[in-house]
Structure 1
Amino acid sequence: MKILFDLLPIFLFFASFKWAEGHKDLAAQWLTEHLGFAVSGGVVGVTEAPTLLATVVVVVATALQILVLKALRKPVDKMLWAGLVIVVVLGGLTLWFHDERFIKWKPTLIYWLMAVGFLVTEIVLKRKMLRQMMGGQMDAPDAVWRTLGWAWVLFFGAMGVLNLYVAFNFPTDVWVSFKMWGSLGLTLVFTLAQGVYLSKHMSPPPAEAGGSQ
């Protein structure tokens, strides 16, 4: 359930973009009427309407995530706060300048922030955040956790670069589809590979006391 909640802004970004692609005139009209004050010139064109509508949706969805967590009195992850700041700033610039290049930087900045987070906690501070994320139920040598930490740092760093490559070398609809399916697919494959690697290095359970002699 939590993973669906975390991925909700991505799903909504994808769905709203695809809807607006098929209803560009309607999307442009709605944005102009209701958000013209936030757009330079006050008018949204049909060509840019899908990206701008999806941008508005992802900003609102991210803000609602935090409001829901606050209403339920649950902790708000620091990365979610960082994501809100990033999406509000880049989303605002996207709207005002009619320029989708700003919002295309959002996934990269999130990936790189996560890479820095893993680098600091796992490598520098050696806090074994990965072990805590797995419930603390898996035990493995420190070298294994360190290797996994570096793997996540490199993975998030590479994903940030890959996002920029797709965003600025392919049409926007391709980037949106990659953001929805490609990024999630690569993350799933990497996570499964990490699980396989970790399973090969887990410490065996201790022998039960009073066992057969």
Structure 2
Amino acid sequence: MKMLIDFLPIAIFVLVYQMTKDIVLATAVLIPATIVQVLFTWWRWRKVEKMHLVTLALVVLLGGATVILGDGDFIKWKPTVVNWLFAVAFLLSPLFGGKSLIQRMMEKNLTLPAAVWMRLNLAWVVFFLAMGAINIAVFMHFSEEVWVNFKLFGMMGLTILFILVQGVYLARHLPDEKKTIHSTGTDSKEK
């Protein structure tokens, strides 16, 4: 359910755009939809992730500029700004507390060597930088409609692909069950 709530404002944005072909109107709907998303998240879980707050601030700022000035270019910059802010946060995170941001998010579920955590964190930095650059390329070289579709489907697809590649990388570094069985002298069938 939480993932659905995360994508609801952008889905509403795309739906309104597809119905009207008006990016200013779609942005005018996106702003309150994002506010409602954050308020609902707070009401339901009594916690709002920093990502949602950053996104809300940029939607209000850049979306507001889009609506007030009637210029869709402002909202088109939001994905790039969000992705590049995340790249900076991931890049600088080891300087604050010694752990990478990805390690802080995943270490409760995974035990990995420090070097693997750092490579994984760097991969996210590169991913966020690339996503920001790809967003610029799409909105500068393709139609507005292509950008709107890329915003929902392309970015989501690239993110899922990156997470799958990350999973393959992580699988190489997870403890080997056979090694664990041999080192303990027990077999899972005996239990």
Range class of TM-score, shorter chain: 0.7 to 0.9
1:28-59 deviations in Å (ceiling 9; x for gaps): xxxxxxxxxxxxxxxxxxxxxx1011101211
Alignment of 1:121-200 (within 5 A): 121=93, 123-125=94-96, 126-134=98-106, 136-200=108-172
Whether the aligned pair in 2 keeps the contact of 1:141 and 1:202 (CA below 8 Å) is: no
Runs (4+) off by over 6 Å: none
Question: For residues 61 and 150 of structure 2, what CA distance do their matches in structure 1 show?
Answer: 23
Q: Once structures 1 and 2 are overlaid, which stretch shifts more, 202-211 or 136-145? A: 202-211
Match of 2:4 in 1: 4
Equivalent AA in structure 1 for residue 10 of structure 2: I
Work out the percentage of aligned pairs sharing the same amino acid.
42
Q: What TM-score, normalized by structure 1, do the two folds share?
A: 0.79
How big is the shift at 1:154?
0.7
User: SS in structure 1 opposite 2:174?
Assistant: coil
How big is the shift at 1:105?
0.5
Q: How many residues align?
A: 183
User: SS in structure 2 opposite 1:72?
Assistant: helix
Whether the aligned pair in 1 keeps the contact of 2:58 and 2:78 (CA below 8 Å) is: yes
Aligned CA RMSD, in angstroms, stands at 1.9
Equivalent AA in structure 1 for residue 132 of structure 2: G
Q: Report which of the two has the higher share of helix.
A: 2
Runs of at least 5 residues in structure 1 that lack an aligned partner in the other structure: 22-49
Q: What TM-score, normalized by structure 2, do the two folds share?
A: 0.87
Runs of at least 5 residues in structure 2 that lack an aligned partner in the other structure: none
2:27 counterpart of 1:55: yes
Alignment of 1:103-118 (within 5 A): 103-118=75-90
Match of 1:79 in 2: 51
Match of 1:16 in 2: 16
How big is the shift at 1:204?
3.5
How big is the shift at 1:178?
0.7
Match of 1:70 in 2: 42
